[in-house]
């Protein structure tokens, strides 16, 4: 695994050097980026020797050999970023999306698991400002590990000590997950979209988001990095899932496109609104203004567009049909260039939209349609991953054969 260690200026910075050794000993590649103040506590040379890699300081404005900006290049290289020790200042900068040095700029360019290991005096750690910054990061899926209770550098003891390095090593390794899909990224969309007519009215559909949430949960359980782009639904975020909330089809399109190139499997479960209002009113419209009808525009077909923006990903669509299930599913398989279309009959009141149960038919290019009989959406998600899991592994293996 490729780990970027971000080292901040605190007494515990010397432990970052030990962590480099531990990570290398466990077979991982490590690169280090130091904040300005970190250099007062640990020298770049120490980290360079231990990591056998160049150490990143503040030289990011220099052009690289590939012409890529250095922070973007490093962010693309890393599979996990661990900030250790994280100072109150850097926790604040990360929480507020600031990019005023090489490390914070690289973190902003990174789209993967981030682990933050704070170490500071307990009075600082307990400050409401620091606590709420840490909470903000936690809510965004950042793993805040520690600090723990123990002896503090400034004397006395309290909550503020850097967590044990073996714990940190374990968290870093688990950030890639274990299980059959470890190391893979699964991107799932769920729920309806709302297309605003004016500030109080919108166009939408009956999707509850339950099937998409069940699939995202199952992807996480099988060890994948599970990213869920959710339309407006009230469901709790499943364990281990990174959730991005969106409202409209345009927002969903943008959120998916931004993450698609790094995904191995993309499952478009969302019932994306096919039409949006040509121009949304900024004030509530009078009845009389609506009586002439609405002017509508088609939204982009997200799944179809992924054939171009994420050609390497295994792409899966859902088809909600009320009649001619098979014909509709086969047409969508072709038109959207998907590997699988999962079809369900939404005219049945006992399954599908809004229900806790579903029954689906799985269509693929070279196999007969496969029925997954009526069961809870969690059970359907498990059965679907029994099919999609091996398919994505085979797809990845085939791609690497082509590349080599
Ligand atoms: N889809 C999409 N972008 C859209 C509309 C649909 O990505 N603008 C995706 C859905 O997430 C689903 C698949 O396409 O995975 C099929 O959606 P469905 O609504 O059944 O099909 P449509 O393309 O809308 O076709 P039709 O309305 O003709 O049935």
Q: Can you spell out the DSSP letters for 205-217?
A: ----SHHHHHHHH
**Which residue stretches of 222-324 are H helix?**
249-260, 287-290, 302-309
Structural domain contains residue 358: yes
State which of 278-282, 343-347, 387-391 shows the largest mean pLDDT.
278-282
SS3 40: helix
Q: Give strand pairing partners of 363.
A: 341
- What is the rounded CA–CA span in Å between residue 214 and residue 233? 14
Structural domain contains residue 199: yes
Same domain, 217 and 331: yes
The alpha carbon dihedral of 92, 86, 60, 263 has a sign of negative
Structural domain contains residue 341: yes
The finding on whether 318 has its CB within 6 A of some atom of ligand 1 is yes
**Greater model confidence, 155 or 226:** 226
Atom of ligand 1 nearest to the CA of 249: 8
The finding on whether 302 has its CB within 6 A of some atom of ligand 1 is yes
pLDDT bracket for residue 156 (50, 70, 90): confident
Angle (CA) 211-217-218 rounded to 5° is 90
**Which residue stretches of 162-290 are H helix?**
165-174, 210-221, 249-260, 287-290
Task: State the average pLDDT over residues 347-354.
Answer: 81
Asked if residues 340 and 316 have their Cβ atoms less than 8 Å apart, the reply is: yes
**Which CATH number goes with the domain that contains 335?**
3.40.50.10300
Same domain, 225 and 336: yes
**Which CATH number goes with the domain that contains 33?**
3.40.50.1950
- Whether the per-residue pLDDT at 240 is higher than 90: the answer is no
Residue closest via CA to ligand 1's atom 27 equals 274
Atom of ligand 1 nearest to the CA of 321: 20
Same domain, 203 and 145: no
- What is the rounded CA–CA span in Å between residue 56 and residue 62? 12
Structural domain contains residue 305: yes
The separation between CA 240 and the C-alpha centre of its own chain, rounded to angstroms, equals 10
Domain boundary among the residues 174, 209, 240 is at: 174
Structural domain contains residue 179: no
- Whether the per-residue pLDDT at 396 is higher than 90: the answer is no
Q: Considering only CA atoms, which of 171, 134, 158, 153 is closest in space to residue 15?
A: 153
Domain boundary among the residues 139, 174, 209 is at: 174
- What is the rounded CA–CA span in Å between residue 289 and residue 285? 6
- Which pLDDT score, from 0 to 100, does residue 364 have? 95
**pTM of the predicted structure, to 2 decimals:** 0.66
Structural domain contains residue 37: yes
Tokens of 148: 């723990």
pLDDT bracket for residue 33 (50, 70, 90): very high
Asked if residues 304 and 335 have their Cβ atoms less than 8 Å apart, the reply is: yes
Domain boundary among the residues 148, 174, 200 is at: 174
Same domain, 160 and 199: no
- What is the rounded CA–CA span in Å between residue 325 and residue 344? 7
Distance 272 CA to ligand 1 centre (A): 6
Task: State the average pLDDT over residues 74-91.
Answer: 96
Same domain, 350 and 257: yes
- What is the rounded CA–CA span in Å between residue 33 and residue 268? 37
118: left (phi over 0), alpha (psi -120 to 50) or beta: beta
Q: Which of 332, 339, 346, 352 to mutate to test the pocket of ligand 1 (most atoms within 8 A of CB)?
A: 332
Atom of ligand 1 nearest to the CA of 302: 7
- Which pLDDT score, from 0 to 100, does residue 63 have? 67
Same domain, 315 and 230: yes
pLDDT bracket for residue 42 (50, 70, 90): very high
Structural domain contains residue 23: yes
Same domain, 168 and 253: no
Same domain, 230 and 366: yes
- Which pLDDT score, from 0 to 100, does residue 154 have? 79
- What is the rounded CA–CA span in Å between residue 4 and residue 35? 13
* Tens digits of residue pLDDT in 265-309: 999 999 999 999 999 999 999 999 999 899 999 999 999 999 999
- Which pLDDT score, from 0 to 100, does residue 150 have? 79
Distance 271 CA to ligand 1 centre (A): 7
- What is the rounded CA–CA span in Å between residue 96 and residue 285? 37
The finding on whether 303 has its CB within 6 A of some atom of ligand 1 is yes
What range defines the domain where residue 390 resides? 185-403
SS3 359: strand
- Which pLDDT score, from 0 to 100, does residue 143 have? 85
- Whether the per-residue pLDDT at 48 is higher than 90: the answer is yes
Q: Considering only CA atoms, which of 330, 332, 338 is closest in space to residue 306?
A: 338
The finding on whether 222 has its CB within 6 A of some atom of ligand 1 is no
Residue closest via CA to ligand 1's atom 20 equals 319
Could you give the number of structural domains in the chain? 2
Task: State the average pLDDT over residues 152-181.
Answer: 83
- Which listed residue (205, 324, 344, 356) is catalytic? 205
Task: State the average pLDDT over residues 178-205.
Answer: 92
Task: State the average pLDDT over residues 356-385.
Answer: 93
Distance 261 CA to ligand 1 centre (A): 20
- Which pLDDT score, from 0 to 100, does residue 401 have? 60
**Which residue stretches of 264-404 are H helix?**
287-290, 302-309, 325-335, 377-403
pLDDT bracket for residue 181 (50, 70, 90): confident
- What is the rounded CA–CA span in Å between residue 377 and residue 210? 7
Same domain, 153 and 200: no
Q: Is residue 324 annotated as a catalytic residue, yes or no?
A: no
- What is the rounded CA–CA span in Å between residue 91 and residue 104? 10
56: Cβ contacts below 8 Å, ≥ 6 apart:
31, 32, 33, 34, 70, 74, 102, 103, 106
Same domain, 128 and 6: yes
SS3 32: strand
Same domain, 115 and 249: no
Q: Which of 276, 303, 310, 336 to mutate to test the pocket of ligand 1 (most atoms within 8 A of CB)?
A: 303
* Tens digits of residue pLDDT in 99-136: 999 999 999 999 889 999 999 999 999 999 999 999 89
The finding on whether 357 has its CB within 6 A of some atom of ligand 1 is no
- What is the rounded CA–CA span in Å between residue 292 and residue 27? 67
Same domain, 199 and 88: no
Interhelix angle 249-260/302-309, nearest 10 degrees = 20
Structural domain contains residue 180: no
Task: State the average pLDDT over residues 210-234.
Answer: 93
């Amino acid at each position: 695994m490729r780990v970027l260690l971000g080292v901040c200026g605190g007494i515990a910075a010397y432990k970052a050097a030990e962590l480099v050794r531990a990570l290398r000993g466990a077979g991982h590649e490590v690169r280090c980026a130091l904040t300005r103040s970190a250099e007062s506590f640990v020298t770049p040379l120490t980290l360079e020797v231990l990591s056998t890699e160049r150490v990143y300081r503040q030289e990011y404005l220099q052009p690289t050999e590939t012409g890529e900006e250095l922070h973007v290049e490093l962010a693309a290289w890393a599979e996990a970023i661990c900030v250790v020790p994280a100072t109150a200042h850097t926790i604040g900068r990360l929480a507020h999306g600031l990019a005023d040095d090489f490390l914070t700029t690289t973190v902003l360019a990174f789209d993967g698991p981030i682990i933050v290991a704070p170490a500071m005096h307990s009075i600082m750690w307990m400050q409401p400002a620091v606590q709420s910054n840490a909470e903000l990061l936690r809510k965004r899926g950042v793993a805040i590990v520690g600090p723990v209770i123990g002896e503090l550098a400034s004397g006395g003891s309290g909550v503020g000590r850097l967590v044990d390095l073996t714990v940190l090593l374990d968290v870093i390794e688990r950030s890639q997950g274990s299980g059959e899909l470890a190391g893979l990224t699964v991107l799932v969309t769920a729920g309806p979209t709302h297309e605003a007519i004016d500030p109080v009215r919108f166009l939408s559909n009956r999707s509850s988001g339950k099937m998409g949430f069940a699939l995202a949960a199952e992807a996480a359980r099988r060890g994948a990095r599970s990213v869920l782009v959710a339309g407006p639904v009230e469901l709790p975020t499943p364990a281990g899932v990174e959730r991005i909330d969106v409202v409209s089809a345009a927002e969903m399109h943008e959120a998916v496109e931004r993450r698609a190139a790094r995904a191995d499997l993309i499952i478009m479960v969302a019932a994306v609104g096919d039409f949006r209002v040509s121009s949304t009113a900024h004030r509530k419209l009078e009845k009389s203004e609506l009586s002439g009808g609405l002017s509508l525009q088609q939204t982009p077909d997200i799944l179809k567009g992924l054939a171009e923006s994420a050609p390497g990903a295994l792409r899966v669509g859902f088809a909600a049909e009320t009649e001619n299930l098979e014909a509709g599913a086969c047409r969508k398989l072709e038109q959207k260039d998907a590997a699988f279309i999962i079809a369900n009959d939404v005219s049945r009141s006992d399954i599908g939209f809004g229900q806790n149960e579903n029954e689906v038919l799985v269509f693929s290019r070279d196999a007969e349609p496969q029925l997954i009989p009526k069961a809870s959406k969690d059970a359907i998600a498990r059965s679907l991953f029994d099919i999609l899991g091996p398919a994505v592994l085979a797809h990845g293996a085939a791609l690497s054969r082509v590349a080599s």
